[in-house]
A and B are shown apart, each in its own frame.
Chain A
Amino acid sequence: MKRKVLIIDDSLLARMAVKKCIPDDRYDVTEASDGASGLIKYKEIGPDITFLDLTMPVMDGFKVLEEVRKINDKALVIVLTADIQTKTREKVMALGAFTVLKKPPIKNEILEAIERAEELLGRQ
Chain B
Amino acid sequence: MKTPSPLQELSEFEKDALREIINLAFGDAAAGLAEVMGIYVFLNVPLIQIMSPEDISSYIEKELSSSTGLNIVEQYYIGKIKGVAFMVMSYENAEEILSILGDKDLLKLDDYSVDMLAQETLVEIGNIIIGACVSKIAEILSDNVIYFPPRYLRGSYDTSNLPPEFFRSNSYVVMLKTVFKFETKELNGFLFLVNSYDSVHWLKDSIDKFVSSYV
Contacts and interface: CB of A to CB of B under 8 A. Distances in A.
A106 B44 contact: no
Interface string B89-128: 0000000000000000000000000000000000000000
B215 A82 contact: no
A105 B26 contact: no
Nearest to B25: A82
A103 B45 contact: no
A103 B24 contact: yes
A86 B33 CA distance: 11
Interface residues of B, number: 23
A11 B215 contact: no
B16 A85 contact: no
A63 to B, nearest CB: 12
A36 interface: no
Contacts of A83: 27, 30-31, 43
A37 interface: no
B27 A13 contact: no
Given A12-B16, A14-B20, A85-B30, A55 B43 contact: yes
A21 interface: yes
A18, A21, A54, A83 interface centre (most CB from chain B within 10 Å): A83
A20 B212 CA distance: 12
Given A55-B45, A104-B214, A85 B17 contact: no
Given A13-B214, A106-B215, 17 more contacts: A11-B16, A11-B19, A13-B17, A13-B211, A14-B214, A17-B214, A18-B215, A20-B215, A55-B23, A55-B44, A82-B23, A82-B24, A83-B31, A84-B28, A84-B30, A85-B31, A85-B40
Interface of A: 10-14, 17-18, 20-21, 54-57, 81-88, 103-107
Pairs of residues from A and B, 8 with the lowest C-beta to C-beta distance, nearest first: A82-B27, A17-B215, A85-B34, A82-B23, A84-B31, A82-B24, A11-B20, A87-B40
